[in-house]
Amino acid sequence: MFRLFTTTPSDIRFLESQAMRGRYPTMTGVSFSSDAVAVPPSAASVSSWRGACEVHRADPVPRSAFLERLSEHEDLDWEAMGDEEAAKQQAALEAAARQLDPGGGRDTGSGVTSTTSVSSSGIAARYWTDFCKVVFNPRAVYSLPGSWTSPYEHSLAPGWGAAMDLFDGGGGRGSGGSGLVEDAVDRVRYMGEACDSLAGFQVMVDDLTGFGALAATVLEEVVEEYSGRPLVLFSLRPPGQWEQHQNGGSAGGPISTASATARARDDLSQALALTRAAELAALYVPLSAPATSASLPYLSYNATLPYHSSAILACGVDTALLPTRLTGARSPLGEPLGAIDLHSMVRLLRPGGIFNLVALHLALPCPSLPVGVQQLQQQLDERVRPPHAPGAVGATAASGGPRGQALHGNATQLSLGADLASLTPGISGRGDGPGGLGSRGASRAESYCLRGCRTDTGPVSTTSALEALDLLLLRQPHRMCVRHRCIAPMPLAVPLPFPQLFRGSVSQHGDLVAPKPNSSSTAAGSTGMGGTSSPLGLAAARAAGESVQSVPVLTRLQATREFEGWVRRVRELWAHAAGGAAGRAMLEGWGFGRDDAMEIGAQLEDICAAFADEDEA
């Protein structure tokens, strides 16, 4: 495992610190003063006040049992400890980690987990600091006045304009005269100077709240100072929000005034994020965990719990950008294939340099790849129909009878159309329906990353995995788009505090040892392939109490024409919200006048027109 690990180094994300006696992540965080990792505000901010002061201070949030056990774990003398005692201490740490999510990984029997079927009552992880193991550099954390009241409720939650009071200017482009922007940029600069080679920036922000306006203002300075460095912005969205707005926000009953106001606030914030924050990014990737596990059938989770949804998104983001961190080190399964720098990835996903909207799709865990790739490839080369003809592969494989079945094996196998779940709300990434991927030119560019690839006989070499992935891509409907493929031998190592999301059908190393829930077996060569465990018995079910240690993962970053409808919907929601009295009053309160609103509407029109012009071309 260590020899595989050298191909995907983690130290690229950390810096050594003698003063802190360890490593800290190369990140800059912006949060509230009440946050557990926030640095207390300096007394200099109130030094000009000479009157009486009254201080209200809440007790600090106690550390979770997992972090307490982890702290004790690090202080143990492992060299003087016997094997039996070491195993006992490790078991105690794992038990404390499982208590963060004691009810996770349950199979409901239906195969689909709703946002409420996995109860949150037994979840011990209330805050992200309950399971965060890294130590942050105090110089990298910027504290804002405010507090959190729940995972989705905080001082900047009331829309994009909630941060306007923090700026001297209006119109969503604060001048930064108060020093807030400069202080935040200083922290980014500190991290940038500590890097041996700065490849670019990866930004994650809830840009439908005041954090979006704050991020846009700070990033405007960062982009100007670090010109030429690509910036990838992941826009974090609450699960199910897009679907609620598509359905009118209600189940058919009357909408309360508070709900209508909240919906108008979200609609305005979404348009502002697209025209203010997205324009600063080289790639803009909206992200949201699927509201139900129908598209991730091997997971059982509650999307309303940030502990669950953030883990899913983290798997997707970490794998999608893995090609930018790979080394050329060889491993027993071969060297990584398809390594690429961030600048080249941005150029790939922005053909023509016009649109920066990108969708992310995820298969977690990734089902088995087909076996007997070379023989099956020979069969495909002898086919009469072209690779994109419907049913070509199915007919060829089926004609082989038992041989065709042997080539496919009996394990649950990967289907790019069915197994890739969309993490971008409003973008399906599938070939069915109007504007789907079956349409000519719908998918403009794609970047695939497959890590820890396996067949039903175990791990495979990177060259064989690339062959298999290319074979699966040939089975997709013909699309005129640029494709980048990256294969890494190292699977995704599941960290100890990871929530218990995996169903019992997932083995310790990510093999699928049972059929898909609610899926019927199909003929060899069809789009979805159900099955049981390998006839060789290499994949064994997990014993009670055992956790998944590693899983293969497949991601796809996709520049697609589906965003045309996505942007059009954002424009329609903006026009409806900004045209009402409540929306106009809200915009004025956020510092946007009538001219600003017209400018934003025109920007959205221009984006839609650009999609239409490209289609005509």
In whole angstroms, what is the distance from residue 491 CA to residue 312 CA? 15
Instruction: Determine which of 71-80, 249-258, 267-276, 450-459 has the lowest per-residue pLDDT on average.
Output: 249-258
More confident residue, 94 or 233: 233
Q: Using the predicted structure, report yes or no on whether residue 410 has a pLDDT greater than 60.
A: no
Q: Is 352 exposed, middle or buried (0-12, 13-18, 19+ CB in 10 A)?
A: exposed
> Are residues 130 and 245 located together in one domain of the fold?
yes
> Are residues 250 and 368 located together in one domain of the fold?
no
Query: Quick one: CA torsion of 185, 188, 192, 198, rounded to 10 degrees?
Result: -100
475 DSSP 8-state letter = T
> Are residues 401 and 287 located together in one domain of the fold?
no
- Asked if 477 contacts 437 with a C-beta cutoff of 8 angstroms, the reply is yes
Domain assignment present for residue 212? The answer is: yes
Tokens of 500: 């218990």
- Asked if 292 contacts 312 with a C-beta cutoff of 8 angstroms, the reply is no
| Domain total in the chain | 2
Q: Give the pLDDT confidence score for residue 395 in this predicted structure.
A: 38
355 DSSP 8-state letter = -
When the pLDDT of each residue in the chain is averaged and rounded to a whole number, the result is 76
SS3 state at 261: helix
Q: What is the average pLDDT across 170-179?
A: 49
Nearest-Å Rg of the Cα atoms of the chain is 25
Residue 586: name the closest of 146, 152, 162 by CA: 162
In whole angstroms, what is the distance from residue 246 CA to residue 254 CA? 16
Confidence of residue 537 (pLDDT cuts 50, 70, 90): very low
Domain assignment present for residue 596? The answer is: no
- Asked if 542 contacts 504 with a C-beta cutoff of 8 angstroms, the reply is yes
Where residue 134 falls (left for φ over 0; alpha for ψ -120 to 50; beta otherwise) is: beta
> Are residues 382 and 443 located together in one domain of the fold?
yes
Q: What is the average pLDDT across 228-255?
A: 76
Q: Is 549 exposed, middle or buried (0-12, 13-18, 19+ CB in 10 A)?
A: middle
> Are residues 93 and 219 located together in one domain of the fold?
yes
Q: What is the average pLDDT across 41-48?
A: 48
> Are residues 413 and 279 located together in one domain of the fold?
no
Q: Give the pLDDT confidence score for residue 284 in this predicted structure.
A: 96
Tokens of 340: 């690429």
Confidence of residue 79 (pLDDT cuts 50, 70, 90): confident
More confident residue, 418 or 39: 418
Q: Give the pLDDT confidence score for residue 106 in this predicted structure.
A: 55
Q: Using the predicted structure, report yes or no on whether residue 577 has a pLDDT greater than 50.
A: yes
Alpha helix ranges (H) inside 141-204: 180-194
Confidence of residue 23 (pLDDT cuts 50, 70, 90): low
Other beta carbons less than 10 A from residue 434's beta carbon: 8
Q: Using the predicted structure, report yes or no on whether residue 609 has a pLDDT greater than 80.
A: yes
Q: Give the pLDDT confidence score for residue 142 in this predicted structure.
A: 80
Domain assignment present for residue 16? The answer is: yes
> Are residues 207 and 280 located together in one domain of the fold?
yes
Alpha helix ranges (H) inside 99-236: 180-194, 210-225
In whole angstroms, what is the distance from residue 605 CA to residue 357 CA? 15
- Asked if 492 contacts 318 with a C-beta cutoff of 8 angstroms, the reply is yes
Q: Using the predicted structure, report yes or no on whether residue 253 has a pLDDT greater than 80.
A: no
> Are residues 402 and 445 located together in one domain of the fold?
yes
Beta bridge partners of 483: 446
Domain assignment present for residue 436? The answer is: yes
Token pair 């294939």 is found at: 337
Q: Give the pLDDT confidence score for residue 178 in this predicted structure.
A: 59
Query: Which residue range is the domain that position 240 belongs to?
Result: 2-38+65-314
Pairing mode, strands 14-17 and 283-287: unpaired
Q: What is the average pLDDT across 502-527?
A: 62
Start-to-end CA span in the chain (Å): 50
Q: Using the predicted structure, report yes or no on whether residue 122 has a pLDDT greater than 80.
A: no
More confident residue, 613 or 119: 613
Quote the Cα angle for 311-312-316, to 5°: 115
Where residue 516 falls (left for φ over 0; alpha for ψ -120 to 50; beta otherwise) is: beta
> Are residues 113 and 158 located together in one domain of the fold?
yes
Q: Using the predicted structure, report yes or no on whether residue 534 has a pLDDT greater than 60.
A: no
> At which of 514, 542, 560 does a domain end?
560
Q: Using the predicted structure, report yes or no on whether residue 137 has a pLDDT greater than 70.
A: yes
> Are residues 292 and 335 located together in one domain of the fold?
no
> Are residues 221 and 259 located together in one domain of the fold?
yes
Domain assignment present for residue 406? The answer is: yes
SS3 state at 234: strand
Domain assignment present for residue 607? The answer is: no
Distance, CA of 217 to chain centre? 23
> Are residues 160 and 189 located together in one domain of the fold?
yes
Q: Using the predicted structure, report yes or no on whether residue 117 has a pLDDT greater than 60.
A: no
In whole angstroms, what is the distance from residue 182 CA to residue 130 CA? 31
Confidence of residue 1 (pLDDT cuts 50, 70, 90): very low
Domain assignment present for residue 194? The answer is: yes
Cis peptide before 365 (omega within 30 of 0): yes
> At which of 519, 543, 560 does a domain end?
560
Q: Give the pLDDT confidence score for residue 115 in this predicted structure.
A: 47
In whole angstroms, what is the distance from residue 152 CA to residue 202 CA? 22
Residue 9: name the closest of 318, 326, 324, 316 by CA: 326
Angle between helices 257-272 and 210-225 (to 10 degrees): 10
- Asked if 452 contacts 551 with a C-beta cutoff of 8 angstroms, the reply is yes
Confidence of residue 406 (pLDDT cuts 50, 70, 90): very low
> At which of 510, 543, 560 does a domain end?
560
Beta bridge partners of 148: 154
Instruction: Determine which of 31-40, 410-419, 471-480 has the lowest per-residue pLDDT on average.
Output: 31-40
Residue 341: name the closest of 483, 485, 488, 199 by CA: 199
Instruction: Determine which of 165-169, 215-219, 535-539, 598-602 has the lowest per-residue pLDDT on average.
Output: 535-539
Q: Give the pLDDT confidence score for residue 70 in this predicted structure.
A: 84
In whole angstroms, what is the distance from residue 511 CA to residue 562 CA? 33
Alpha helix ranges (H) inside 356-401: 373-381, 392-399
Q: Using the predicted structure, report yes or no on whether residue 39 has a pLDDT greater than 80.
A: no
Percent of the residues in the chain that have a pLDDT greater than 70, as a whole number: 70
More confident residue, 187 or 13: 187
- Please count the CA atoms within 13 angstroms of the CA of 29 that sit on its side-chain side: 18
In whole angstroms, what is the distance from residue 260 CA to residue 434 CA? 30
Percent of the residues in the chain that have a pLDDT greater than 90, as a whole number: 26
Domain assignment present for residue 306? The answer is: yes
SS3 state at 605: helix
